[in-house]
Amino acid sequence: MRELESKSGYAPANGIKLYYEIFGTGKPLVLIHGGGSSGFSDFEETVKRLYDRYQLILIDLQNHGRSEHRTSDESFEQDAKDILAILDFLSVEKASFFGFSNGATTVLKFATMYPNKVEKLVAASGNTKREGLLDGFFESMEASTIHDMPPFLKENFMKLNPDPEKFRNMYEKDSQRMINFEDFDIESLKGLTCPVFLIGGDQDVVKATHLADMQRQIPHARLLILPANHGNYMMADFNGEVNTKLIDFTMQQIQQFLESK
């Protein structure tokens, strides 16, 4: 990967400091990572492809990456409030958003809370209802332990924040948020006014039928289902392998969505 210039720092966000990185120039596109991950880890392939077209703002959410931790429970509402605080700190009045997995759920929540801040929204492998996830997902979450955390997520966390107790805090907060997930109010989705691009894989953790339901509920939504699993259409798979052609196609579709009238 060619060396891409960036600037980074910490922004105050409701009592803690969150880490951010900014790549490129142009219209702002805020990138929100999934559970257990961090900004650049989830969006490295995105940065490579969209660096020359947008100002890419990557945020490590609470308890993740290089950001500070809270002892209170995680919520998508709190993450939305934290994102708003960072945008205010960076003097970003309005932006487009691209979230993956929990990050997609977060940006959908953000759009329902702060509609005037959102230009366009890309939600990749996000869910808004418990029944939208694969059958058995919640039972599996309740039965899992920290030792079941995918190795690449643990390695990434410890590289950025080599503190075992912080890793445990992140795992416990993420797990409990998903175990206790509450459905979105359908009316809040029906009230979205920004264009929304929903993306998922045909072998994703999120059911394709759920994404199709969301597409019908959200007024200005488009839907793309790819021959993929949970995220390998935009990043390396669980084995670290990158499907370049598939990711190229995904990013072309996202760029077309963001730049369409």
Two tokens at 27? 């219209």
> Is the distance from CB of 129 to CB of 183 less than 8 angstroms?
yes
Does residue 49 sit within a domain?
yes
Q: How far is CA 210 from the centre of its chain?
A: 18
- Which pTM was predicted? 0.97
Task: Count Cβ atoms below 10 Å from residue 169 Cβ, excluding itself.
Answer: 17
Report how far apart, in Å, the C-alpha atoms of 127 and of each of 55, 94, 188, 251 are: 26, 24, 14, 21
pLDDT in tens, 109-127: 999 999 999 999 999 999 9
Determine the Cα–Cα distance for residues 102 and 105; give it in Å rounded to an integer: 5
Identify the CA nearest to 51 among candidates 2, 96, 101, 99: 2
Determine the Cα–Cα distance for residues 200 and 144; give it in Å rounded to an integer: 24
Assign 5 a pLDDT band (cuts: 50, 70, 90). confident
Report how far apart, in Å, the C-alpha atoms of 201 and of each of 104, 128, 206, 232 are: 14, 16, 8, 8
What integer is the mean pLDDT of 227-243? 95
> Is the distance from CB of 166 to CB of 174 less than 8 angstroms?
no
* pLDDT above 80 (res 28): yes
CATH number at residue 142: 3.40.50.1820
Does residue 145 sit within a domain?
yes
Does residue 96 sit within a domain?
yes
Does residue 1 sit within a domain?
no
pLDDT in tens, 210-232: 999 999 999 999 999 999 999 99
Does residue 188 sit within a domain?
yes
- What's the confidence (pLDDT) of residue 2? 58
Provide φ and ψ at 6, rounded to 5°: -150, 165
Does residue 87 sit within a domain?
yes
Report how many helices (DSSP H) and strands (DSSP E) the chain contains, helices first: 9, 8
User: How much of the chain, in percent, has pLDDT values that exceed 90?
Assistant: 97
Name the domain count of the chain. 1
What integer is the mean pLDDT of 138-152? 95
- What's the confidence (pLDDT) of residue 216? 97
Does residue 215 sit within a domain?
yes
Domain that holds residue 238: 6-259
pLDDT in tens, 44-86: 999 999 999 999 999 999 999 999 999 999 999 999 999 999 9
Does residue 243 sit within a domain?
yes
- What's the confidence (pLDDT) of residue 175? 97
